[in-house]
Chains A and B, each alone.
Chain A
Amino acid sequence: MEALLGLGCLLPAILILCEVYRREVYQVVLAHITCMEVRELALGESPLKVHERIREFLRSSLGKEASIFWEHQTQVARYWVTDPQILSQRLLGRKPGLVSERWLRYPQLASFSFRKGRKHHQEILKRCLYPLS
């Protein structure tokens, strides 16, 4: 009985930990590719080459299948920001420059109830600015 109770507590704890760990790893990878992309584009590298380099990085860090999944699940936006108000709103610093924004949505290991519904997915948004002044 005790063992079952312990198992019942431990299993969800491990599951949550795995989910947290996975999210943290994804956050670091997403931040890395976002900053790498914006820097290379700001310095005049061709978008095709940058895309290829990101794909290579994802393949080496997450594996082939996960990299394919990432490519389909991430949404990318790039824009120039010169307005200091927008810069401070988006916590990008003070200097104007090129911004890259990546948004990833991936399924959780297990769903749980959250705000009158069930949560099945996690979302991560990363922004990176390469100042050009």
Chain B
Amino acid sequence: MFISFVLSALIVLSTAPLGITHLYRLETDFQWNQIILDNVAIQLGKQGRELLNQIRKVEIQLEKLHTLYHAALACSLIPATAIACKSSAHNLRTTIQVIATSVIPSASARWLQSVQQARRDLNKGSQDLGMDTVVDFHPTARFCKVCHQVEGWKVPSKVLPAFLFSKRINVLKSRLVHEKQKNGLWNYRLRAH
């Protein structure tokens, strides 16, 4: 009786520190993964915001060029200025097309790079962290109804790079949302779950 009591007490004495150590390790892992997720989401949010704001700047530039292009087209109808205006319109149209075709592929490539970096950062954690959803960055072009040239891009909320991160432990989640502000600029919000 006494020996079994001593033995059971010894078992309790030896397993209790193991239990505590395991508990501390779980908590440390949780906090560490949380920091990684938050940092990755913040980095992606910043890059996404910069990207969208840059596209907005190009859009403003395109709007100006577009106005000039319409003016050049209008003045090319006047016989006295037709030759000069035609060449000016031609140059403007080429510039618009170059900008329109180069902006989105480069932006998509940059976005892809930052996503890859985010994946690398997530794999630095002690556990396998993964992104639940990854939305490709492909805004659609908006065309002018008169001249059919690109005048901007549609960035609907579904196309936005909103990422959802998750970890295997059920409570840990970070979500990144991009929001358009009143001044037309984009910002991001990191949501807690």
Q: Which residues of A contact B (CB under 8 A)?
A: 3, 6-7, 10, 13-14, 17, 20-21, 24-25, 28, 31-32, 35-36, 39-40, 43-45, 57
Are A24 and B20 in contact, CB atoms less than 8 angstroms apart?
Answer: yes
A6 touches B6 (CB 8 A): yes
- Interface residues of A, dominant DSSP: helix
Interface pair B192/A17, CB less than 8 Å apart: no
A31 to B31, CA, bound (A): 10
CB–CB B16/A43 < 8 A: no
**A45 / chain B contacts, CB cutoff of 8 Å:** 191-192
Q: Give the shortest distance, in Å, between A89 (CB) and chain B (any CB).
A: 22
B34: A residues at CB distance < 8 A: 35, 39
Which residues of B pack against A, CB within 8 Å?
2, 5-6, 9, 12-13, 16, 19-20, 23-24, 27, 30-31, 34, 38, 171, 189-192
Establish whether residues B2 and A28, one from each chain, have CB atoms under 8 Å apart when the complex forms: no
Partner of A21, one of B19, B30, B189: B19
14 interchain pairs (CB within 8 A)? A6-B2, A7-B2, A7-B5, A10-B5, A21-B19, A24-B23, A25-B20, A28-B23, A28-B24, A36-B171, A40-B192, A44-B189, A44-B191, A57-B171
Which residues from A are CB-within-8-Å of B27?
Answer: 28, 31-32
Chain A's closest residue to B10 (CB) is A10
Which A residues are in CB contact (< 8 Å) with B19?
21
Q: Nearest-CB distance from B154 to chain A (Å)?
A: 28
Q: Are A17 and B13 in contact (CB under 8 A)?
A: yes
10 closest pairs, A vs B, by CB?
Answer: A40-B192, A43-B192, A3-B2, A24-B20, A45-B192, A28-B27, A21-B16, A28-B23, A10-B9, A43-B190
CB distance from B8 to the nearest CB of A (A): 10
CA of A13 to CA of B12 in the docked complex: distance in angstroms? 11
A45 to B190, CA, bound (A): 10
Q: Are A35 and B31 in contact (CB under 8 A)?
A: yes
8 Å CB contact of B30 from A17, A32, A40: A32
With a cutoff of 8 Å between Cβ atoms, the chain B residues found around residue A57 in the complex are 171
Q: A3-B2, A6-B6, A24-B23 are known contacts; what are 19 more A-B pairs with Cβ within 8 Å?
A: A7-B5, A10-B5, A10-B9, A13-B9, A14-B13, A17-B13, A21-B16, A21-B20, A28-B23, A28-B24, A28-B27, A32-B30, A35-B31, A36-B171, A39-B34, A39-B192, A43-B190, A43-B192, A45-B192
Residues of A within 8 A of B23 (CB): 24-25, 28
Q: Which residues of B are found within 8 Å of A40, using beta-carbon distances?
A: 192
Q: Is the CB of A43 within 8 A of B191?
A: yes
Residues on B with C-beta less than 8 A from A25 are: 20, 23
